[in-house]
A and B are shown apart, each in its own frame.
Chain A
Amino acid sequence: MTVLFFVFVIIAIIPLASILFEVFKNGVGALSFEFLTSPPGALGSSDGGIGPAIQGTLMAVGLASLIGAPVGVLAGVYLSEYSSSSKHFAYFLRLFNDVLTGIPSIVIGITGYIALVLTLGSFSIIAGAFVLSIIMIPIVARVSEETLKLVPNTLREAAYGLGLPKWKVVWHIVIKGSKSGILTGIVLAISRVAGETAPLIMTILGTSLFFSGFNAPVDALPLRIWRLASQPYPAAHEQGWGAALVLILLILALSVALRMFAQKRSIKTFKGTT
């Protein structure tokens, strides 16, 4: 039995490991300070880099998280803590949330295009952040709800027993007690949207220039990878691999940093345990 499980673990790891290996092998050669900081060079040349794409991804994902994370967490808190008196509403909210998770990201991109790009008159990072946050919300909401539900009811009752009003029980005992779970949900959602390409084509378009205002197109790593990969030049392909590696490393760094942050916070309350 153990052997069987081991075999399946290996089967599951093979594609993941080979992708990482391939990206690293082909992309590491492109990395340099210039590659990370300068705008794309002439078509087909190995000059230039992905500076605007890194900047755009960080900005778009950052803005999207500023909208998506709080809305998602609050939705999760509502579903877990406040929905017991309106069961039907909560049922439809959950259903809606699950449907939203399943909507193809290109459709959300087109929605953003119609709702924001056309009304505001230009491709912009605002539209990009908006569609990315729409993708984030259902993931964050779902994970937050499930995490909060894991907090045993006895702890809520203990807190109520101390004469605390509901909002304090929810905030200080339930939410603070499941901080690391909620953070995991946010990291999961950020990793998902950082790699989104289709909705960004419809909203931020992509450009060779650094950020120049909230009403102008911006670049993003997945868009840059896509553009570099569709060019016929070997130099562009190498840059594409490099950009892919940078994207993977960025997501990895973010999730490690957030995990360490969460751990540090909980170690602080447990200081002196060892």
Chain B
Amino acid sequence: MYLVGNLDNSLKSSIKDEIDDISKYSKTETRTDTTTTTTEEGSLPSIKAETERKSDTEFKIENPKLSVQSLKAWFSGKLALKGINLDVKENCVTALIGPSGCGKTTLLRCINRMHDLTPNAMAEGKIILDDINIYDKQSDPVLIKRRMGMVFQKPNPFPTMSIYDNVAAGLKLNGIKDKNLIKDIVHDSLKGAALWEEVKNDLDKPGISLSGGQQQRLCIARALAMQPEILLMDEPTSALDPIASSKIEELMNDLKKNLTVIIVTHNMQQAARVSDYTAFMYLGELIEFGPTDQIFKYPKKELTERYISGKFG
């Protein structure tokens, strides 16, 4: 499946050259303004009882690939994440679940600093990837995004590009010139995204001519082509029909052999099916985190149990 092997090294070295080049253009921009923080709980069940018990989890992961530490995020002055602590294990699927507006997408977008791009949004705290803090002043958001692929809620292939060019876009625009290398990576990425058999004769057709499910797998292939260490998926199947969704779920099982997947989902059955670890979030806080089996069968917190059993949300 998705194993590039010896290609990997040559690509990484060519990417590295390019990195030196690019980092000149994109200096880290860090927002330092502090905005007043307001907490709003609305009419939903209160989480006060839970926070008293202890908002971070007792469950610990050894040697996490990614570690989120007291992360806070704001939208236009409104606190959306109230200090999240979360560890993500390598080569596993970690699911973020919770009702709408709980901050799971915001957390995902903080992880690759996509959140920075939203107007009037800011974040503070630590996210440790291997041993670098990606919120450090020295770290470059552009390079961080290159280490993490992102798949969005709605499939968004580049409309003016062919299937081939969509997958090759990241490589070409990052300055990789070697046509054979690009070709090999594009083919491997399409195979890795389980799309190759369906499109191998139509690589010149526009990406938007595919069906929704195929487009989403094309977007996965586009992300895979950059050889990311982490794949962030923001409700990747919410715009797809059940058959297309199940294909993507199957795919996640293969993907985690080579990379770490973090998926935001509204669909609890999906989280139960695909993930190894599950984090339940509510009103900007991480309520409970643990192995998926445990969260779904023996949740420790009452709020988690009520959400999972469908009593609210």
A residues sitting closer than 8 Å to B (CB atoms) are: 84, 152, 154-168, 172-173, 176-177, 266, 269-273
> What is the CB-to-nearest-CB distance from A197 to chain B, in angstroms, rounded to a whole number?
39
Kindly list chain A residues whose C-beta atoms are within 8 Å of the C-beta of B117.
Answer: 156-157, 160
**A160 and B162 contact, CB distance less than 8 A:** no
> CB-CB < 8 A to B177: which residues of A?
none
The chain B residue sitting closest to A152, CB to CB, is B156
Neighbour of B160 across the interface among A160, A161, A269, CB < 8 A: A269
Closest chain A residue to B149, Cβ basis:
A161
Contact with A along B205-232 (1 / 0, CB 8 A): 1100100000000010011001000000
Q: In the complex, which residues of chain A have a beta carbon less than 8 angstroms from the beta carbon of B129?
A: none
15 contacts between A and B (CB under 8 A): A154-B152, A155-B158, A155-B159, A157-B156, A158-B219, A159-B173, A160-B145, A161-B145, A162-B170, A163-B143, A164-B170, A173-B158, A266-B160, A269-B160, A273-B206
Say how far B139's CB is from chain A's closest CB, in angstroms: 13
Q: Are B204 and A162 in contact (CB under 8 A)?
A: no
Main secondary structure of the interface of A (DSSP, over half): helix
Given A160-B117, A273-B209: A177 touches B146 (CB 8 Å cut-off):
no
Cα distance, A267 to B158, chains bound together (Å): 15
The size bracket of the interface on B is: 35 or more
A159 to B166 Cα, complex, angstroms: 10
Q: Check B26 against A162 for contact (C-beta < 8 Å).
A: no
Q: Nearest-CB distance from A63 to chain B (Å)?
A: 31
Pairwise interchain contact B25-A167, C-beta atoms closer than 8 A: yes
CB distance from A164 to the nearest CB of B (A): 6
- On whether the beta carbons of B160 and A176 are closer than 8 Å, the reply is yes
Inter-chain contacts of B154 with A (CB < 8 A)? 154
Instruction: Enumerate the 4 nearest inter-chain pairs by beta-carbon distance, A residue then B residue, closest first.
Output: A163-B146, A162-B170, A161-B150, A272-B204
Inter-subunit contact B152/A163 (CB<8 Å)? no
CA distance A196 to B144 in the complex (A): 52
* Cα distance A162–B112 in the bound complex, in angstroms: 11
Q: Find out whether the CB atom of B142 lies under 8 angstroms from the CB atom of A165.
A: yes
Question: A266 CA to B119 CA in the complex, in Å?
Answer: 32
A84 contacts B119, C-beta separation under 8 Å: yes
Is A271 within 8 A of B146, CB to CB?
Answer: no
**Are the CB atoms of B145 and A162 closer together than 8 Å?**
yes
Q: Which of B165, B209, B226 contacts A162 (CB 8 A)?
A: B226
Residues of A within 8 A of B142 (CB): 163-165
Task: Check if B160 sits within 8 Å of A165, measured CB to CB.
Answer: no
Residue numbers in A under 8 Å from B162 (CB-CB) = 269-272
Contacts of A164 in B (CB 8 A): 142, 170, 173-174
Q: Given A177-B158, A270-B162, A273-B206, is A162 in contact with B173 using a C-beta cutoff of 8 Å?
A: yes
Measured between beta carbons, the chain B residues less than 8 angstroms from A266 are: 160
